[in-house]
A and B are shown apart, each in its own frame.
Chain A
Amino acid sequence: AQTVTQSQPEMSVQEAETVTLSCTYDTSESDYYLFWYKQPPSRQMILVIRQEAYKQQNATENRFSVNFQKAAKSFSLKISDSQLGDAAMYFCAYNEYGGSQGNLIFGKGTKLSVKP
């Protein structure tokens, strides 16, 4: 069975600095999707960034980028120029290609604090 592991329960970053959140996963599939979701204190989860496993290029969305290492089964999220609004729980998630769209496998989350 696939698993997703986030080894950092909590992280802290100074405003304007860069922080990297770690995620590893386990799967025997070769095609799949990986995601980072953000859950701010308001509780509504939103998609931050998505990576298709067949793409070698790392996904980037403005200040958010990933380091996708397929062989190592690692999928870290880098947040550059951190802002106070980045404070949230961040969840890494996996979905196999062709699987049920809602059956994402989530990690336990990393709580990110941003210090002014």
Chain B
Amino acid sequence: DGGITQSPKYLFRKEGQNVTLSCEQNLNHDAMYWYRQDPGQGLRLIYYSQIVNDFQKGDIAEGYSVSREKKESFPLTVTSAQKNPTAFYLCASSTGTANTGELFFGEGSRLTVL
């Protein structure tokens, strides 16, 4: 079945550590995105990539980094510079060829900083 796989589902981190969240898609979608979700908040865009080897900052990119070396993969690194990293992270993808805005989401990764 085609879809988006995020791993791990749950992750605990000590302060000062970098962590990387994985996102893989087999939908052959060109564009991929990372969102952050906090309780009582909508989704906020961290980074997005419309083609391989290219990505742009979203609204809250500070303290995060990404790479897009393969079409299928868009890992997100939460660095120690991120002041409040405890959150739910959602990866999404879209065809990128028509601006319909429909996104396909993974099941998310919950990061907790101890």
| Contacting residue for B42 out of A35, A47, A109, CB 8 A | A109
Q: Chain A: how many interface residues by the 8 Å CB criterion? A: 28
Cα distance, A47 to B102, chains bound together (Å) = 7
Q: Please give the number of chain B residues whose Cβ is less than 8 angstroms from any Cβ of chain A in the complex.
A: 27
In the bound complex, residues from chain B placing their C-beta under 8 Å from that of A101 are 31, 50, 94-96, 99-101, 103
Please report whether the interface of chain A is mostly helix, strand, loop or mixed according to DSSP.
loop
From residue 1 to 57 of chain A, which have CB atoms closer than 8 A to chain B? Answer: 4, 9, 33, 35, 37, 42-47, 50
Please indicate which of the listed interface residues A42, A47, A102 has the most CB atoms of chain B within 10 Å of its own CB. Answer: A102
- The chain A residue sitting closest to B45, CB to CB, is A103
Q: B101 touches which one: A43, A91, A93 (CB < 8 A)?
A: A93
Contact indicator A50/B100 (Cβ below 8 Å): yes
* CB pair B107 A43 closer than 8 Å: yes
| Chain A contacts for B44, CB-based, 8 A | 106
> B96 — which chain A residues lie within 8 A by C-beta?
101
Q: Does B60 contact A (CB under 8 A)?
A: no
Determine the distance from Cα of A97 to Cα of B41 in the docked complex, in whole angstroms.
24
B8-65 interface with A by 8 A CB criterion: 31, 33, 40-45, 48, 50, 56, 58
A contacts, CB < 8 Å to B? 4, 9, 33, 35, 37, 42-47, 50, 91, 93, 95, 97-109
